[in-house]
Chains A and B, each alone.
Chain A
């Protein structure tokens, strides 16, 4: 029998992804995607759609509970049903459950949501590693790897066919031929490495909101690239009039002031790649975020030169994201777009506010480079 519910489930997923019945999307409870910042876990709510009906507004009027405590004892936030009435008579369901997702699942959702193509690692220079998987069962092996269930099953089968199995006295005695052992298979695993290099303009015009955009966007880029490569190295460069390499904490929190000389960052970036990440072995992704207000036209020309002749041939992808700042956004993106037209691993994207992040990630990663 076909599971009818599979169809209902597919239908629901389509609604969640906004493919059909967009009018229902507004009834969907959907939390912040970056929930808790654990090491490997991120909590996201399971999407639930509630059809509107006549119901009471949020009452904040509390409810009935049970347990110890004086009047005035606070309840732990998780203990309170926020719909707030302690209605035991209610039908089940209807509230949001938070579950922890692994990074892998998150990336899968990301891929589904954004329709990202899988990245094709550089073909010719794969490093192979070998790993053993205990995924097989064999008839010989050391006792320490004996597979009890399989052994039992074999013995049971043999006894039943032989007619020696007595249901009232179900003793199963395995003999040598029944024994099964776990065994391994060696798998060659292609290993490819990737470098993600972030550059950010920290000149006076980049405010906290702009940094927040960069932070969120780089989180998702990281997540996606990490699922496609085994060893991902991340490096950070900040620049105003001069560039320097920093750790991630500094990257997201420094506020410098001063002018903007973008070429300084590109030079440093080139130096890092040149010295440490030979392009035959590494997939290199470079992202640069700035408000695009470069110091001088002369420096912009220098940047374009650097990109065209030196950087772009070395990297899988160079993403330039221009963030709208309180001072408006600059010319840099237009200069790039006008002067570098025939190279497809340069992607530019305008990010005016947080809502644009979604589209911007799509711009950057949508090509599957």
Chain B
């Protein structure tokens, strides 16, 4: 009972903060209880120390610094933190885009020297029309064996509709790149087979078309550029693998010769 009472009195002392503000009952208790009296005395002394802490004053340049701070914040918006976050986000996005762009450019401009050494068929080609010589060299053309070869031999076959549209498109792109000064365009033909045009296919598409036998004797001249200004012209004889020669059904002076008849 006494402990409970002391606890209540000590709580009252702590709430009051000073023995002078205690109730009559508490004051009476303090006269009889040494422990509570000690608590009250300590609390009063502590209160006096705390009250004597005094006031710390702001420095003399407080107003000046505050004005400077406000002046710095005025030109911006009322949400500097949001501005900072926005600028950081913008910088991050810009850095990411720059990184992606640089990667794309580096991949596009990367010299493919390793592959050109390893792959025998990977060359830069600047074909020269047969019999025309270097002076008549037009825009560099990437030569692919097959349909283009046929078209080069006979202008009429140039009207044959392209069977592989993506390849044509790719060739156009490469031509455009070469015209723009990018002379390092390459074409890898090692993994491609030559297209086969059978007699039936040709007859169905162009009944009147005839394949000139002499076309096979026309050679291709290919100018190879190593990319450092050194070019070399190579004359390539016509080679056919498994092709079927088609003889025109119409009379032609070409087939009049027994030498050309098969």
Whether A associates with B in a native complex is: no
Interface residues of A (CB under 8 A from B): none
Interface residues of B (CB under 8 A from A): none
